Amino acid sequence: MSLVFNEEQRQLKDAAKSFLNENAPVEALRKLRDDNDALGYSQPLWEQMAELGWAMVTIPEQYDGLGFGYLGLGAIAEESGHTLTASPLFSSIVLGASAIELAGSEEQKTELLPQVACGGLTLALALEESNHHNPTGVALSAEKNADGYLLNGNKQFVLDGHCADKLVVVARSSGQAGEAAGISLFLVDADTAGISHNRTHLIDSRNAANISFDKVQVSAACLLGEEGNAWAALDKTLDRGRIYLAAEMLGGAEECLSRTVEYLGDREQFGVKLGTFQALKHRCAEMYCELELSRSVVMDALSAIDDDRMDTAAMASLAKARLNDVYKLVTNEATQMHGGIGVTDELEIGFFLKRARVAMQIFGDAGFHRDRYATLCGY
């Protein structure tokens, strides 16, 4: 268990902070939103991130990656949270590459992971089919035929689904919705005949898409791993995503507190600095304590991935549930303590409030993860 970054991880974190502050401040996200950018992220920025090696941090060395681990990627995620950086890092590297690494054959990993590691191939995980996170509630069908498989169904809330090169599609080849058995993963070209995308514009100015599959014919080579036996790999992939997202949320919450403390130190009311009011000091102190506890949880969860610990699933749910609560608390308090201007588009604090609301729903809200944590602990 590691609750602090080592020297190399600290150097990566410092480098990420410097790069993102200079190249991807919150103002960059505002511009992407206002311009209604077709990608929803900056392609030149993503290419720079790939050149820095960020896309290969967690990919094993035998597939042209760095094998630096999730503590290293967590450092980048935290700094991305500070600046609300939009990029395919989450959808392509944490979700897409993990699905290939955990479920794919050696041939698939050798062919695809180097392309992902250099930033040349972008991926999106097509999982959700309802308004609530339900990873086993897969109804999109994969019917086997002479030419491979025929996919029919719909997916919602596919992160970066409108612009990814390939989709990792979670489908049901047997069994009923709600069962873990019978789930299969398919890697499908996004422009395959029968696939239609409907991009959605979320309140946090990020990308997602609703995707329909109408008699989509794919070859047997598109199947990742064994037919009907993908649940274990999918579950581990989702836990990596939950922990990465918790690290990003930690960074966003820390930035909110920092901006709020600075504002309270500058703003005067009736000739007195707001930061001198004892009640506001107490509220800031509470947020600080909650964030320090959250940092320990996130660091332990990142370590659990790197160490392949048995309690990784429980730590993923603990981290996601806690950061859901803490990010909500901090963004609520930050907005309120900024006063009326806090809810205007003029002030950037509102971008964090909106990001918190979306991030809280990705791969399970606090209620989902409290229930999952209790179940994993035997209650």
Is the Cα dihedral 294, 295, 297, 301 positive or negative?
A: positive
The first and second tokens of residue 204, run together, are 């946090």
Helices marked H in the chain — which ranges? Answer: 7-23, 26-34, 43-51, 70-83, 98-103, 106-117, 231-266, 278-306, 312-337, 349-359, 366-376
Give the global pTM: 0.96
Report all structural domains of the chain as residue ranges with CATH numbers, in order of start: 7-121 (1.10.540.10), 124-229 (2.40.110.10), 232-376 (1.20.140.10)
> Distances from the Cα of 296 to the Cαs of 112, 252, 310, 311, in angstroms?
34, 16, 18, 15
Q: What does the pLDDT profile of the chain (379 residues) look like in tens digits? A: 667 888 999 999 999 999 999 999 999 999 999 999 999 999 999 999 999 999 999 999 999 999 999 999 999 999 999 999 999 999 999 999 999 999 999 999 999 999 999 999 999 999 999 999 999 999 999 999 999 999 999 999 999 999 999 999 999 999 999 999 999 999 999 999 999 999 998 999 988 999 999 999 999 999 999 999 999 999 999 999 999 999 999 999 999 999 999 999 988 777 888 888 899 999 999 999 999 999 999 999 999 999 999 999 999 999 999 999 999 999 999 999 998 888 889 899 999 999 999 999 999 999 999 999 999 999 9
